[in-house]
Every structure is written in structure tokens, then in C-alpha cells.
Amino acid sequence: MKTKKPNLEILWKQLEDSLVPRLRLAVADRAAYCYLLRHSRLEGKPRLRFSMPWLAGGICLSSDAARRAVRRLIDQELLRLIERSTAGHVVDVRLPQEILAGLPKEIAPRHAVPAVPRINLEEEDFLRTNALRHAIHAREAGRCFYCLRLLTPPMKCIDHVVPRAHSGNNSYRNLVSCCRECNSQKGPCRAEDFLRSLFRERKLTERELAARLRALDALASGKLPPPLPSGMAPDNRSPAAPQRRARAVSSTPSKTP
């Protein structure tokens, strides 16, 4: 019995994109199925009579391996066994679309595109990786958070606004990019007091001081999130409670390039 030949492009996409990953077809099973499909449905015939040596030769496997593949294809209903004898097998070869129609939709494809790594901004330790440290530097756009001078790479370091000795953590709300000089002069003193000392030393104008104090408030209240490293996405599924953030302190030294 002849049937209409399937659209090859659609068939191939259904095979590669859906059937193989959803059924997790092994290489041998896939080869056997494609070969049988080629000699049945692509010739307009749903039914095929074949011998195991013929199939094995066609897909360059041993007869035993070909037989095991056929058994698995029958188990997975890609083939419907009509007759088995010493002369060979008679099977109905099913098209990918006929098999897919009967599969539950929730089976996850094995070859799905890997998920983008997600980070929870509020719980993340921004000294954990170089990419996260760079995100802090990127937020300050090349200027010292305190004295506003332009920084070259060797001048840059990361400072804990609230020092670790005072339970400051590694949250983006407590880390800033600054010059080594500010980092060393600030020491354990409060950031607000340090900014006022920069004003007294005429390293900041009155307007700059006011802007820096506002930036300090914005930082602590989470209004200055750093740009996420490329390839990462925010995880908004589990917002952190403030008390959990307070415990997110790591043992990383505070003066970190």
C-alpha cells in the first residue's frame, strides 16, 4: 500500500528537534530508525519487510546491535511489529509526527539550551568571582566612589563601606569601587565621616559632598545595583529578607583589587 510521501523538511525538523531529544534516542536506535524510515515512509510505504543483516549492513552495526536497536524502537512504538520470523521482520514504521502526537508535553528535551545562570542580587557575595567584582567596578564607571577621581586599573580596589570588622558584608549595597588611597585612608571610619574629611581636605566640593552622601544612601537602600555580568540574569524568584543579607559576610579580605 502506497501513502503520500511526507514533507521532508518538516519530518527532519520533527525528528531532530523533538523526537530524538524527547525519547532520548541512542545513536544506534536513531540510525536504525532513520534507515527504516528512509526505506518505508520516504518511499510512500508505511510497512516494511527487512532482514537483520540488511539493516545491520545499512547502518554499519553488528546484527546483534541492530536487533537490540529494533527491539527498543518497538518498545518505544516507533515501529509496530507485524510479524517476526526467520525470514526477517515486518514492521509499520511510524512518522515522527505520529509518535509525538501521543507523547506527554512535559517531557523535557535532553538537549535543551542550558538555562542562563541566575543570581539573586540581594544574596550574592560580590567578592565571590572576578566577574562579580568587575560588576562593582563597572557600576562606578571608572571613578572612585569617594573622591571621584578617574581610576586606572592599577589604582582600583573594592572597599567595604561598612567595614567587615563592623559586620559589613559583601553585598552590592556595601561594596564600592574606589582608589587605593581612599581605601587606605578610610580605614575603619564611617563612610559619611570619611567623605566629610575629603571635603575638609578640599578633595570634594560642597556639591560633590552632597551628591556623595546621597549616593551613600542610595547604595545602602539598594538603588545602585551593579550591571550583571554578561550571561547572567537576575533571579527574582526568591527575594532576600534583610536579615539574611546581613549574614552574607564572607571571609574575603576587604582591600580587594
Residues that bind Zn ion (CB under 5 A): 144, 146-147, 179, 182
Q: Which is nearer to Zn ion, 48 or 198 (CB)?
A: 198
Q: Which is nearer to Zn ion, 36 or 179 (CB)?
A: 179
Q: How many Cα neighbours within 13 Å face the side chain of 162?
A: 14
Residue 156 CB, shortest distance to Zn ion, in Å, is 10
Q: How far is CA 119 from CA 10, 134, 170, 229, 251, in A?
A: 38, 15, 14, 10, 20
Residue 194 CB, shortest distance to Zn ion, in Å, is 10
Q: Which is nearer to Zn ion, 30 or 137 (CB)?
A: 137
Residue 128 CB, shortest distance to Zn ion, in Å, is 24
| Cβ pair 48, 36 in contact under 8 A | yes
Q: Which is nearer to Zn ion, 62 or 205 (CB)?
A: 205
Residue 173 CB, shortest distance to Zn ion, in Å, is 19
Q: Which is nearer to Zn ion, 55 or 144 (CB)?
A: 144
Q: How far apart are the first and last CA of the chain?
A: 75
Q: Which is nearer to Zn ion, 50 or 146 (CB)?
A: 146
DSSP string of 74-119? Answer: HHTTSEEEEEEETTEEEEEEPPHHHHHTTS-TTPPPTTPPPPPPEE
Residue 242 CB, shortest distance to Zn ion, in Å, is 29
Helix, strand, coil proportions of the chain in percent (round to 5)? 45, 15, 45
Q: Which secondary-structure segment (H or E) carries 207?
A: helix 206-220
Residue 214 CB, shortest distance to Zn ion, in Å, is 18
**39 exposure class (CB count in 10 Å sphere: 0-12, 13-18, 19+):** middle
DSSP string of 119-172? Answer: E-TTT--TTSSHHHHHHHHHHTTTB-TTT--B--GGGEEEEESS-GGGT--SST
Residue 182 CB, shortest distance to Zn ion, in Å, is 3
Q: Which is nearer to Zn ion, 147 or 158 (CB)?
A: 147
Amino acid identity at 53: P
